[in-house]
């Protein structure tokens, strides 16, 4: 399979995971808080492990080769890592200024009796959540796509991590839209639309950057991706998991997520 096609398919699969979240949102009348805590923790563990153990190390290796210097390789990898942190912080700061947390999966019981809660308000919240997630997913799509082009095994790991954390995002969009409109199909399409931005972002990013692609650029992008994913895990996913009041479920999810990534990386070596 052509590397570009594989990269696009992995990115597409990661983006479409928001649709899985939508299906889960409709599987029960009340959102399972234990399940959400566990899944958010799992996603955080996957992201932290793959970012620090695999992606950042790939960045250091790539930049060391590009500059023929381990000192400069590590320096620019570190700068790229915190550059990614700053970038995603700026995106999240904009979203939080508008009172939207793209990783917060609202409890269905909070949305009961939409007439009293005002359907228009729910529809507005769900629509803006979808928009916020779309903005959030754009750089994730570029990261997944370019990671797969450079190293398919790494790209699969990144794609899995992004897909897992997109599931709660799908829930976050679907529940308010469903309770505002009464339409599962409309809620599903809003949710799916927010995720489809990832492969779109991948293609846009690729065609904008392909003339500049080099070992140095890949190294800096890898470091930035690691920073973005660690920030999302620490600033969004773990706090959201704790919010639902099931501390041990979220921590066990995080540990299992790390174990899953560790096992997948070991298996890729053989």
pLDDT digits (tens, 9 = 90+) for 166-185: 777 777 677 767 767 778 88
What pTM was computed for the model? 0.65
Nearest to 96 by CA among 136, 124, 140: 136
Instruction: Please report whether residue 270 resides in a domain.
Output: no
Instruction: Please report whether residue 221 resides in a domain.
Output: yes
The string of pLDDT tens digits covering residues 223-267 is 887 888 788 788 877 887 777 666 788 888 889 888 877 886 676
Q: What is the pLDDT of residue 111?
A: 47
Instruction: Please report whether residue 47 resides in a domain.
Output: yes
Which stretch, 25-34, 37-46, 129-138, has highest mean pLDDT?
A: 37-46
Instruction: Please report whether residue 87 resides in a domain.
Output: yes
Question: In terms of residue numbers, what domain contains 82?
Answer: 3-263
Average pLDDT, the chain: 77
Question: Would you say 87 and 228 are in contact if contact means Cβ atoms under 8 Å apart?
Answer: yes
94: CB partners within 8 A, 6+ apart: 135
Instruction: Please report whether residue 268 resides in a domain.
Output: no
Q: What is the pLDDT of residue 270?
A: 56
Q: What is the pLDDT of residue 96?
A: 60
**Mean pLDDT value of segment 180-197:** 83
Calculate the alpha carbon distances from 215 to 76, 169, 205 in Å. 12, 33, 17
How many structural domains are present in the chain? 1
Instruction: Please report whether residue 233 resides in a domain.
Output: yes
């Amino acid at each position: 399979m052509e590397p570009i096609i594989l990269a696009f398919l992995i990115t597409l699969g990661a983006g479409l995971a928001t649709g899985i979240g939508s299906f889960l949102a409709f599987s029960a009348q009340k959102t399972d808080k234990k399940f959400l805590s566990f899944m958010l923790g799992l996603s955080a563990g996957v992201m932290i492990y793959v970012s620090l153990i695999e992606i950042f190390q790939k960045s250091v290796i790539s930049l060391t080769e590009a500059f023929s210097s381990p000192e400069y390789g590590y320096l620019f990898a570190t700068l790229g890592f915190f550059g990614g942190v700053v970038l995603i912080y700026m995106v999240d700061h904009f979203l939080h200024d508008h009172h939207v947390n793209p990783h917060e999966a609202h409890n269905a019981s909070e949305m009961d009796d939409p007439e009293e809660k005002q359907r228009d308000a729910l529809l507005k919240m769900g629509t803006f959540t979808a928009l916020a997630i779309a903005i959030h997913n754009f750089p994730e799509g570029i990261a997944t796509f370019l990671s797969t082009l450079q190293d398919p095994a790494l790209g699969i790991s990144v794609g899995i991590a992004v897909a897992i954390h997109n599931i709660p995002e799908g829930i976050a969009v679907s529940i308010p839209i469903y309770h505002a409109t009464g339409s599962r199909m409309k809620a599903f399409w809003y949710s799916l639309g927010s995720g489809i931005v990832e492969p779109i972002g991948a293609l846009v990013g690729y065609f904008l950057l392909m003339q500049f692609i080099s070992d140095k650029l890949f190294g800096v992008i890898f470091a930035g991706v690691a920073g973005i994913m660690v920030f999302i895990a620490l600033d969004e996913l773990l706090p959201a998991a704790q919010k639902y009041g099931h501390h041990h479920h979220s921590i066990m999810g995080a540990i299992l997520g790390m174990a899953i990534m560790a096992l997948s990386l070991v298996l890729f070596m053989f």
